[in-house]
Amino acid sequence: MTTSLYIDGEWAQAPATAIPTHDPATEEVIEQVGSADSAAVDAAVAAARSALSDPAWAGLLPAQRAALLFRLADLITEHHEELAALETRDQGQPIGISRMVSAGGAAEHFRYYAGWVTKIQGSVNPVSFPSTLHYTRKEPVGVTALITPWNFPLMILAWKLAPALATGNTVVIKPSEVTPLTSIRLVRLCEEAGFPRGVVNLVTGGGDVGAMLSEHMGVDHLSYTGSTAVGKLIATASAASNLKRLTLELGGKAPSIICADADVDAAVAGNISGSMLNSGQVCAAYTRFYVHSSRHDEFVEKMAAGIAGLPVGSGSEESTVVGPLVSAKHLEHVERLVASGSEQGAQLVTGGGRVDRRGYFFEPTLFTGVRDEMSIMTEEVFGPVHAVTSFDDADGLGGVIAAANNTPYGLAASVWTNDIATSQRLADGIKAGAVFVNMPPVPDAAAPWGGYKQSGWGREMGPQAIDAYTETKAVWLHYGG
């Protein structure tokens, strides 16, 4: 069994149930990873609490803290190929994605936030009191729990860990039990980078371990990425315990609007990137396609041919564009939703079933004739499934904006047009944390990421993450009569 607990600078075996992690391309068990029990979770939180005020961490000058983050970024770069290969094995990602988005994106995040450490500022404020100096300072929020999902385990951990450490917090990491391996490896690199003991702690296991953290009185802030259903459980647990601050990055059901004037070939290429990245296992993946009626048939024909022609294979093969889904359980979820599409009257144009080979592969699938109330339009599929319908803008863009917003989610959206006014009207009307005009959904360390409505609370990345991981203290100093 893999040694998977890292508490107060010591590695230990997890005492409770071992959970197998699989190679999704072969279905083979890669390793068994144990689960933390409540004593291990308590110990990890206590270690993080104690490190928070330890001069070895709290006493570091900003430039010294920045140097640790830069060192970690360099170590990720040194181990780039190893991390990418491990992510592909555990998650199934095509190796090109693991290299560029996962290993490359993680290093980029640590560099970006290392740059912030020496630039985190408060303000001096013009309060209306005589002889009073008023200023604010940003302080670490405290012990931060980081709970991550299985779709981009390394990159999403970096989204959280980099700003948490940059702002002087201490952390307890809980990776997804489905894909824990790159998180364990990253924590070993944190150790090598020289973060003082107790600053970075790791507990492995499933939802029960996540629940222990969300209920814990010793956790000050929790950053979670995963399903909306679990996000609600975490919000309830926070409210019932110590009102720990929450950053929640939840589900999505991104619309993509292809306007009458769009360059259809460019739209097809961009939408394939936007929908098929990591086999559609992306929270911002384009899933609901609203195509202007004058371009609908052309778009459907080209999109269906495009996705059907993508090379499907193991993520470890360089030529693969579509890898497997992450697990047998997730494959069943995608199959169930695709079956509901046909049952509810959508027309299947391409795909629709498992790929006839070992591994959790599902065919790139496209439906037309969908209606807003169908399950494939309302539920998060998180797979290579496209639901296409048409719209008419004879009376303006209000109808398609209303349809795009007809979802409890609001993470991302996409617009395809060469008309600036149309793009801005759609960007104004769509309720989503990010609107991508003529491009697929890309993350960037400098760009805030997060959702409207039930896609979450708060923002990660960009300068906004500095706010998420700090408290603002206002200091009032009266200095005269």
CA–CA gap between residue 85 and residue 91 (Å, rounded): 10
Beta sheet of 254-258, edge-to-edge order: 347-350, 365-368, 385-391, 286-292, 254-258, 412-416, 434-437
Look at residues 225, 178, 165, 228 and name the one whose alpha carbon lies nearest to residue 204: 178
CA–CA gap between residue 351 and residue 385 (Å, rounded): 9
Q: What residues numbered 377-396 form the site for ligand NAD, per CB under 6 A?
A: 380, 382
Given candidates 103, 143, 268, 411, which one binds ligand NAD under the rule CB under 6 A?
A: 411
Query: Which residue carries 């509810």 as its tokens?
Result: 344
The CA–CA distances, whole Å, from 310 to 276, 278, 303 equal 9, 13, 11
Q: What residues numbered 186-225 form the site for ligand NAD, per CB under 6 A?
A: 206-207, 210-211, 214, 225
52/283 with CB nearer ligand NAD: 283
SS3 content of the chain, % helix, strand, coil (to 5): 40, 20, 35
Contact status: 412 vs ligand NAD (CB under 6 A): no
Contact status: 93 vs ligand NAD (CB under 6 A): no
**Are 165 and 111 a contacting pair, CB within 8 Å?**
no
419/444 with CB nearer ligand NAD: 444
Contact status: 16 vs ligand NAD (CB under 6 A): no
306/383 with CB nearer ligand NAD: 383
Given candidates 37, 87, 90, 177, which one binds ligand NAD under the rule CB under 6 A?
A: 177
Q: What residues numbered 223-252 form the site for ligand NAD, per CB under 6 A?
A: 225-227, 230, 233-234, 249-252
226/306 with CB nearer ligand NAD: 226
**Are 457 and 411 a contacting pair, CB within 8 Å?**
no
- Residue 295: CB minimum distance to ligand NAD, A: 29
233/442 with CB nearer ligand NAD: 233
The answer for residues whose C-beta is within 8 angstroms of residue 25's C-beta and 6 or more apart is: 92, 313, 314, 315, 316, 323, 324, 358, 359, 360
Contact status: 361 vs ligand NAD (CB under 6 A): no
The CA–CA distances, whole Å, from 134 to 119, 124, 128 equal 20, 6, 10
- Binding residue count for ligand NAD, defined by CB under 6 A: 32
CA–CA gap between residue 454 and residue 444 (Å, rounded): 22
140/251 with CB nearer ligand NAD: 251
Contact status: 314 vs ligand NAD (CB under 6 A): no
- Residue 423: CB minimum distance to ligand NAD, A: 24
**Are 21 and 57 a contacting pair, CB within 8 Å?**
no
CA–CA gap between residue 273 and residue 296 (Å, rounded): 19
Active site residues: 249, 283
The CA–CA distances, whole Å, from 429 to 115, 286, 388, 457 equal 35, 18, 20, 20
- Residue 333: CB minimum distance to ligand NAD, A: 9
- Residue 375: CB minimum distance to ligand NAD, A: 15
104/226 with CB nearer ligand NAD: 226
Residue 252-291 contact track with ligand NAD, rule CB under 6 A, x = bound: x------------------------------x--------
- Residue 435: CB minimum distance to ligand NAD, A: 15
- Residue 209: CB minimum distance to ligand NAD, A: 7
Binding residues for ligand NAD (CB under 6 A): 147-151, 156, 174, 176-177, 206-207, 210-211, 214, 225-227, 230, 233-234, 249-252, 283, 380, 382, 411, 449, 451, 455-456
